[in-house]
Amino acid sequence: MSVDSLKPNRSRTRRGAVVKDVISRWTFMVPAIVLLVAVLAYPLLYTLQISFSDFDLATFAPSSWAGTGNYEDALGDENFLNSLVVTGIYLVLALPLQIVLGFGIAFLLNAEWRGRGVVRALFLIPMVVAPVVSGGIWKIMLDPLWGVITWFLGLFGVQPIDWFGDAGMAMISIVIIDTWRSVPFVVLIAAAAMLALPKDVFEAASVDGANWWQTLKSISLPMLAPIIAATFIVRWLGAVKMFDVVVATTNGGPGQATNVVNLYIYRQAFQLLEFSTSSAMAIIVLVITMVLTFVFLWGSKKLEDRL
Amino acid sequence: MTAVNPPVASHRRRSAKAHRTRVWSGVIVCILFLLPLVWMLLTSFKQQRDIFSSPPSFIFEPTIAQYVDVLTRGGFAGQMLNTVIVAVGASVLSLIAGAMAGYALSRLRIRGAGVIGALILASRGVPPIALAVPMFLVARSLGITDTHITLIIAYCSFIVPYVMWLMRGFFLALPKELEESAMLDGCSRMGAFFRIILPISLPGLLSTFIFSIILAWEELLFALVLTNRNATTFPVAIAGMAGDTENGANWGALAAAGMITVIPVVILALLVQKWLIRGLAEGATKG
């Protein structure tokens, strides 16, 4: 059929061929579109519908229109608002830490020597450990009685810390575990980006006698800004889904201290069977995530334009 | 690296020292990041009395009892098998759909490719919990909860967009003349894609496939919601084991189970490390 398009002198056949070609192009999209409509678009619309309906537990389907009642319930639920705050605290602690550590370590790893490839390959390993498994490992190591970290800190006279039992420490533990898993990801992206930087600029700076801090501030950071912003956005999109590590370690506790929003909504839906309210909560989280993602994208674009 | 004897002595010597500090700090940081896994490995070979010891035992008589236990008792072996089936199934399905769509996005100047690109990114901002309720309700009304195929299809929600984007990058790098000449020889576009483009994209396909497996491997939320016994994957089991463990209870089993889940993906990741890093960077910068 595409051979037809080689005969430009007959316009009608040509138009037919073009139509055919456009159709053949779109056929490539069909399987993905069908799948994504089934598992993304349709479920989202269904969630939206449930969020505006009463839910009938007898038929297990949304029944009558409930207006914005479910949203009022959600926003009036103190524990839900608390879970948003908890998630916010986790993100504010974890994201900057992971970005700074990641780019710092990437700088160390990019030092030229024979073992560089090996070290970088080893850094892949924590990244592919399932979040639940990393939760398990750290639970073993941080145990206040028999944990190896408790013992190690004890060597320096540090009293055993109740890592998962204390509200503040539990959040810090979650951040540590997530950082252990996520920093290698940032490191690998950052290391690749740094290697791509033009070397001559740094040589020129060094010839001009710029010190370490001046080089970082005036050359490295501005040149890396776009990739830092991009890495931040990817990490943000991952971190905002935080669920697994919490389930494997604190299960939201103590009290509500680490009850991140995904866990809270999960419980509302599948333990309390509050499908309408939980759907409204999910939509609220979706909107917040989308708005913030948009703001971050816009910000990174602005940043790029300015440099 | 050994220090060179430079003509301008003090300055160069200082920078050689800085270089050595940098190399060694890198190595030490890397070791620090691997220590938790080393500790899990050690714990998995310990007997209960070596686990309950203070100071912790570093030298002990190793036993494989925990591994035997984990694999023979309870449903862990079955859950591992389920995970393999679901991860491979979801990756194959996503790869077929995602590679075709990625090709369309890279090559065919479909109008609205930019919009589709933006939608792909937006899809990564959708919280899985917003999909879980309807998926559960639909699966329940169709009577297909707790089956592999349900989980496989559910996992496409986050794997397909990823594959589309990664494969688009691979296809963009291929010269257009390839399929154009095939199409001149009378091949249809579909034929050219399957006979010319796919075979030479094999490395890209393989690494994307492994990437998808790793994504599906660790998923917990959908597995919790959509399975309860027959199709349960290992993250559900391990979340339970880790949740139950307090002051050393179950550590050996938890560590052994953890090791069993880590080893396959580590091997896969190291096999395609070069591509994996590239894929990550690509996903970050252009996705």
- 3-class SS letters over B22-87: HHHHHHHHHHHHHHHHHHHHHHHCCCHHHHCCCCCCCCCCCCCHHHHHHHHCCCHHHHHHHHHHHH
Q: Which two tokens stand for residue A215?
A: 């080089």
Using a CB-CB cut-off of 8 Å, the residues of chain B touching A241 are 127-128
Structural domain contains residue B4: no
Is there a single domain that holds both residue B80 and residue B49? no
CB within 8 Å: A28 and B108: yes
Q: Quick one: pLDDT at residue B3?
A: 45
Average pLDDT over residues A160-188: 92
Instruction: Decide which of 1.10.645.10, 3.40.50.300, 1.10.3720.10, 2.60.130.10 is the CATH code for A70-306.
Output: 1.10.3720.10
Q: Which of B20, B22, B30 to mutate to test the interface with A (most CBs of A within 10 A)?
A: B30
Residue B57 belongs to some domain of the structure: yes
Q: What angle do CA A233, A97, A127 make, to 5 degrees?
A: 70
Whether residues B112 and B223 share a domain: the answer is: yes
Rg for chain A (alpha carbons), in Å?
26
A53-56 vs A61-65, strand pairing mode: antiparallel
- Tens digits of residue pLDDT in A258-295: 999 999 999 999 999 989 999 999 999 999 999 999 99
Task: Sort out which chain A residues have CB atoms less than 8 A from B36's CB and list them.
Answer: 126, 134, 137-138, 141, 180
Q: Are both B170 and B228 inside the same structural domain?
A: yes
Q: d(Cα B222, Cα B129) in Å, to the nearest integer? A: 8
For residues A46-75, average pLDDT: 87
- Reduce the DSSP state of residue A229 to 3 states and report it: helix
Pick from B85, A9, B261: which is nearest to A17 by CA?
A9
Q: What percent of chain A clears pLDDT 90, i.e. is strictly above it?
A: 48
Q: Does residue B2 belong to any structural domain of this protein? A: no
**Closest chain A residue to the Cα of B179, Cα to Cα:** A2
**Spatial separation of the C-alpha atoms in residues A86 and B126, rounded to whole Å:** 19
pTM above 0.80, yes or no: yes
| Contacting residues of A for B250, CB less than 8 Å apart | none
> CB distance B130–A282 less than 8 Å?
yes
How far apart are the CA of A247 and the nearest CA of chain B, in angstroms?
A: 6
Which residue type sits at B237? Answer: A
d(CA B65, CA B49): 13
- B217 pLDDT more than 50: yes
Q: Which of B143, B150, B134 is nearest to B85 (CA)?
A: B150
pLDDT over threshold 90, residue A207: no
- C-alpha B159/C-alpha A23 separation (Å) is 26
The shortest CB-CB distance from A136 to any of B19, B97, B238 is to B238
| Cross-chain residue pair A44–B129, CB shorter than 8 Å | no
- Phi, psi of B230, rounded to the nearest 5 degrees: -65, -40
In the 3-class helix/strand/coil scheme, how is A122-134 assigned residue by residue? HCHHHHCCCHHHH
Say yes or no: A128 contacts chain B, CB-CB below 8 A: yes
What CA–CA distance (Å, rounded) separates B231 from B146?
5
- In this structure, are B282 and B189 located in the same domain? yes
Confidence of residue B11 (pLDDT cuts 50, 70, 90): low
Q: What is the mean pLDDT of residues A161-171?
A: 90
Alpha helices, DSSP H, located in chain A = 11-27, 30-36, 42-51, 69-76, 78-109, 116-122, 124-127, 131-141, 148-155, 167-195, 199-207, 212-215, 221-239, 244-248, 261-270, 275-306
- Residue B26 counted as domain residue: yes
The verdict on a CB contact (< 8 Å) between A39 and B234 is no
Does A4 score more than 60 pLDDT? no
- Tell me which of B65, B92, B113 is where a domain ends: B65
Q: Where is mean pLDDT largest: A48-62, A122-136, B192-206, B268-282?
A: A122-136
Mean pLDDT, residues B238-246 taken together: 78
Task: Give Cα separations from A200 to A112, A206, A208, A224 (angstroms).
Answer: 16, 10, 12, 16
Q: Chain A, 17-76: which have a CB under 8 Å from a chain B CB? A: 21, 24-29, 31-36, 38-40, 42-44, 46-47, 50, 60-61
**Mean pLDDT across chain A, nearest whole number?**
87
Pair of tokens at residue B16: 């050689």
Query: CA-to-CA distance for A216 and A278, rounded, in angstroms?
Result: 47
* Same domain assignment for residues B192 and B87: yes
B91 and B196 co-located in one domain: yes
Tell whether A188 lies on the interface with B, counting CB pairs under 8 A. yes
Place of tokens 């096999």: B271
Percent of chain B with pLDDT over 70: 88
Residues B45 and B120 in one domain: no
DSSP string covering chain B: -PPP--SSHHHHHHHHHHHHHHHHHHHHHHHHHHHHHHHHHHHHT--HHHHS-SSPPSS-----HHHHHHHHSTTHHHHHHHHHHHHHHHHHHHHHHHHHHHHHHHHS--TTHHHHHHHHHHHTTS-THHHHHHHHHHHHHHT-TT-HHHHHHHHHHHHHHHHHHHHHHHHHTS-THHHHHHHHTT--HHHHIIIIIHHHTHHHHHHHHHHHHHHHHT--HHHHHH-SSTT--HHHHHHHHHHH--TTTTHHHHHHHHHHHHHHHHHHHHHTHHHHHHHHHHHHHH-
- Give the range of the structural domain holding residue B253, as residue numbers without chain letter: 74-286
Return the pLDDT at B110: 66
User: What whole-number distance in Å separates Cα of residue A215 and Cα of residue A209?
Assistant: 10
Q: Does A267 touch chain B (CB under 8 A)?
A: no
State the pLDDT at residue A215: 79
Provide the domain count of chain B: 2
Contact B88, A246 (CB under 8 A): no
Give residue-wise pLDDT tens across range A12-53.
667 777 777 777 778 888 999 999 999 999 999 999 999 998
Distance from CA of A294 to the nearest CA of B (A): 9
Q: How far apart are CA B140 and CA A279, in angstroms?
A: 17
Looking at residue A214, what is its pLDDT?
Answer: 81
Nearest CA-CA partner of B189 in B92, B108, B105: B108
Same domain for B119 and B22: no
The two tokens of residue B63 are 């036993």
Residue A172 pLDDT:
95
Is the pLDDT at B94 greater than 50? The verdict is: yes
